[in-house]
Amino acid sequence: MKKKVIIAICILVAFILLFPIRLQKKDGGTVEYKAILYKVSDVHSLTTLEEHKNGKEFNEGIIVEILGLEVFNNVK
- Rounded to 5°, the CA angle 36-63-35 comes to 15
Residues in the chain: 76
Q: Is the CB of residue 40 less than 8 Å from the CB of residue 21? A: no
| pLDDT tens for the chain, residues 1 to 76 | 889 999 999 999 999 999 999 999 988 889 999 999 999 999 998 888 887 788 888 889 999 999 999 999 998 7
In the chain, the N- to C-terminal Cα span, in Å, equals 53
